[in-house]
Amino acid sequence: MAAHAANSGDENELEGVSATVSDAEDGNWVDRFAPAAWRPYLRLARVDRPIGTWLLLFPCWWSLTLAEVSIGHPYPNPWMLTLFAIGAIVMRGAGCAYNDYVDREYDARVERTASRPIPSGQVSPEAALIFAGALSLIGFLVLIQFNFFTIVLGIASLALVAIYPFMKRITYWPQAVLGLAFNWGALMGWAAVKGSLALPALLLYAGAVLWTIGYDTIYAHQDTDDDATLGLKSTALTFGEDTPFWIGSFYVGALLLWITAGFLAGTHLVFFFGVALVGLQMAWQVSTLDTSDPKNCLRRFRANRDVGAAIFLALLTDTLLSWWAGLS
């Protein structure tokens, strides 16, 4: 797809520094290696900022692995892991493109988001919608590889995805809606294995929702001044100086729910040890958080990739050790 320049269509300007997105990591592979014509769309899909894909993917992998633990399998199905990975990449991209389309007028008035492809003119609103539709089609082709119950469950998530971008105009708790939508994979992984849902999956999902409210509140503190000026709402504005207390409370709730989910699914000591390590990492986030420093907030937000990876590795190790013990 061709990029749409904001003014004269000067390709040199789009390929230069001004075309990069402000909160992307310096030297990311999109800015360095991707073909110039692809870059605006890769940025629109947040490929240059992969943290969101990880945060979307890990609950899927947790749930899939937890379900395998519950039935005594030695490891999660590699094909299903791959399907969820592809699904997370394309559906996160589609969601971001749709979200940016809805928020394009607000993004143009916020310093951190003004450099995004739509408000900066790199991609037209119409092209963004077409791009979102194309990615959604790929996501649907991935979804239909699963059982019927999982397909229906996945389609049901679209209602939350559709309403989320509007929540910041309506409620001070848009992070809660994001949590409900973003962690749907914590239900789908279990359903992909079992063909149904059960209490461990529901508890895993509830804990992931609390986790998301916590980390996205940290993220939202980057924009509190702009949000207040524009009349937008967030938990960051609601909690204010009490943010560390609230985030800590959400994180504790998440840990307790994950421990309970693991216990009911039949996990072992190694999983609980992994959750304890995650608790230490979360404590670091809360104790060192400076909500007045956007860089501090962004670093702690991104650190939640480590939370997701640690929970997954704890569950994966649990399945392998349980299988090995059964052979001994």
Residue ranges per structural domain of the chain? 11-327
pLDDT category, 178, cuts 50, 70, 90?
Answer: very high
Residue 186 CA to residue 160 CA, distance in Å, equals 15
Q: Six-digit token pair at 295? A: 């860089």
Q: What is the mean pLDDT of residues 101-110?
A: 92
Q: What is the mean pLDDT of residues 5-30?
A: 58
Does pLDDT of 14 surpass 50?
no
Q: Can you give the three-state secondary structure of the chain, one letter per residue?
A: CCCCCCCCCCHHHHHCHHHCCCCCCCCCHHHHHCCCCCHHHHHHCCCCCCHHHHHHHHHHHHHHHHHHHHCCCCCCCHHHHHHHHHHHHHHHHHHHHHHHHHCHHHHCCCCCCCCCCCCCCCCCHHHHHHHHHHHHHHHHHHHCCCCHHHHHHHHHCHHHHHHHHHHHHCCCCHHHHHHHHHCCHHHHHHHHHHCCCCHHHHHHHHHHHHHHHHHHHHHHHHHHHHHHHHCCCCHHHHHHHHHHHHHHHHHHHHHHHHHHHHHHHCCCHHHHHHHHHHHHHHHHHHHCCCCCCHHHHHHHHHCHHHHHHHHHHHHHHHHHHHHHHHHC
User: pLDDT tens, 128-174?
Assistant: 999 999 999 999 999 999 999 999 999 999 999 999 999 999 999 99
pLDDT category, 27, cuts 50, 70, 90?
Answer: confident
CATH superfamily of 11-327: UbiA prenyltransferase (1.10.357.140)
Does pLDDT of 12 surpass 70?
no
* pLDDT for the residue 26: 78
Element of type H or E holding 123 = none
* pLDDT for the residue 111: 83
Residue 38 is given by DSSP the state T
Supply the angle between the helices 51-70 and 174-182 in degrees, to the nearest 10: 50
* pLDDT for the residue 258: 98
pLDDT category, 19, cuts 50, 70, 90?
Answer: low
* pLDDT for the residue 5: 36
Residue 297 CA to residue 229 CA, distance in Å, equals 20
Going by C-alpha positions, the residue among 293, 236, 232 that lies closest to residue 110 is: 232
Whether residue 121 contacts residue 18, with contact meaning beta carbons closer than 8 Å, is answered with no
pLDDT category, 270, cuts 50, 70, 90?
Answer: very high
Q: What type of residue sits at position 162?
A: A
Residue 32 CA to residue 125 CA, distance in Å, equals 25
For residue 205, how many other CB atoms are within 10 A of its CB? 25
Supply the angle between the helices 304-327 and 51-70 in degrees, to the nearest 10: 20
Does pLDDT of 69 surpass 50?
yes
User: pLDDT tens, 197-248?
Assistant: 999 999 999 999 999 999 999 999 999 999 999 999 999 999 999 999 999 9
pLDDT category, 73, cuts 50, 70, 90?
Answer: confident
* pLDDT for the residue 42: 95
* pLDDT for the residue 325: 67
Q: Say what the pTM is.
A: 0.91
* pLDDT for the residue 170: 96
pLDDT category, 118, cuts 50, 70, 90?
Answer: very high
Instruction: Name 104's Cβ contacts closer than 8 Å, sequence gap at least 6.
Output: 118, 119, 125
Q: What is the mean pLDDT of residues 76-86?
A: 97
pLDDT category, 327, cuts 50, 70, 90?
Answer: low
Q: What type of residue sits at position 119?
A: P
Does pLDDT of 35 surpass 60?
yes
* pLDDT for the residue 9: 38
* pLDDT for the residue 322: 76
Of 70-74, 174-178, 196-200, 302-306, give the lowest mean pLDDT range: 70-74
Mean per-residue pLDDT of the chain: 92
Residue 121 CA to residue 124 CA, distance in Å, equals 6
What's the helix, strand, coil split of the chain in %, to 5? Answer: 75, 0, 25
Q: What is the mean pLDDT of residues 82-99?
A: 97
